[in-house]
Amino acid sequence: MKKRRTLKEKSMKTIGGKVLMITVALLLVWTGSPLRAQPDKIVLEGKTRPAVTLPHNRHVEAGQSCKDCHHLYENGKNILDEGKLEEGNKEIRCSACHGPKSKLNLEEAFHNQCIGCHRKVQTEKKKTVPQYCGGCHVRK
């Protein structure tokens, strides 16, 4: 025969659950969400065109996952450890793999990644996003 919980036991369980949820929420606010590990505005310098200011938080808020942009491929699979995506970590910068002598240099990597995604979003008619040079490389 099951033991019935008293009203006091049920109340304590409810209070404990609320305290736990509030504690987790406060920790996320205090430490920052892992999705916001990067600064909101990331400036990508170019050689010939004006720099691109990447609104990181706008991409996060649009539903992009970290691995949609950040990657480390091994045998055709993205094996990136998202725990390493911390501001200032030089190992996860695009330039760590996409250097001037690499198969895909930094400019090509950005263009393939960003333009490819923007075209896909536009084709799916989810939102209007920049597709041409001047949409991202804004003259000041």
With a CB cutoff of 8 Å and minimum separation 6, the contacts of 73 are 79
Amino acid identity at 118: H
State how far the Cα of 138 lies from the Cα of 101, in Å rounded to an integer: 28
Taking the model in full, what pTM does it have? Answer: 0.63
Q: Which residues of the chain have pLDDT under 70?
A: 1-13, 16-17, 23-38
> Which pLDDT belongs to residue 126?
73
Tokens 């938080």 -> residue:
57
Question: Quick one: 36-136 is in which CATH superfamily?
Answer: Cytochrome C3 (3.90.10.10)
* Torsion-angle region of 71 (φ positive above 0: left; ψ -120 to 50: alpha; else: beta): beta
Give residue-wise pLDDT tens across range 86-99.
887 888 888 888 98
> Which pLDDT belongs to residue 75?
95
Contact 7, 14 (CB under 8 A): no
